[in-house]
């Protein structure tokens, strides 16, 4: 009887040792990954400076240059519910790369909020269809 208890204690000690070793390995792996990413960002900080500026502007709009965001919001407001019409928007002429960065704002200005809602509905239904198809 005492032999079974001894075996159980040894098994529990082995299990506890494995858990502790796993936790230590996970912490060291996570630390290594974090240090690697941080060192890459610090080494190439001049390449990532625009990302830091955009994050600061996103967190606090008063700290940075948010001209593009302000122009996009104005364009959506000017588009109204039904929009100005195809090709009648002026956002794509006032903001660089508006056809890629602010495509939803261009659509909102030319076709209105109604078209933005239709696009959101299509994307939602497509995602719902794909989720139900996979499950």
Please return the burial class of 130, using the count of CB atoms within 10 Å of its CB with bins 0-12, 13-18 and 19+.
exposed
pLDDT of amino acid 2: 62
Dihedral sign from CA coordinates of 16, 20, 23, 25: negative
d(CA 105, CA 71): 9
pLDDT of amino acid 118: 93
C-alpha count within 13 angstroms, C-beta hemisphere, residue 76? 16
pLDDT tens for 26-36 read 999 999 999 99
pLDDT of amino acid 35: 93
pLDDT tens for 18-66 read 999 999 999 999 999 999 988 887 787 777 777 777 777 777 777 767 7
């Amino acid at each position: 009887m005492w032999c079974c208890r001894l075996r159980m204690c040894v098994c529990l000690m082995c299990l506890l040792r494995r858990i502790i070793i796993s936790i230590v390995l996970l912490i060291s792996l996570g630390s290594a990954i974090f240090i690697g990413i941080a060192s890459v960002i610090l080494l190439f900080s001049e390449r990532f400076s625009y990302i830091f500026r955009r994050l600061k502007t996103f967190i606090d709009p008063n700290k940075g240059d948010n001209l593009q965001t302000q122009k996009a919001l104005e364009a959506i407001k000017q588009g109204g519910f039904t929009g100005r019409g195809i090709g009648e928007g002026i956002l794509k002429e006032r903001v660089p790369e508006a056809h890629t960065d602010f495509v939803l704002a261009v659509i909102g200005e030319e076709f209105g909020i109604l078209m933005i809602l239709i696009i959101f509905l299509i994307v939602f239904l497509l995602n719902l269809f794909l989720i139900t198809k996979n499950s």
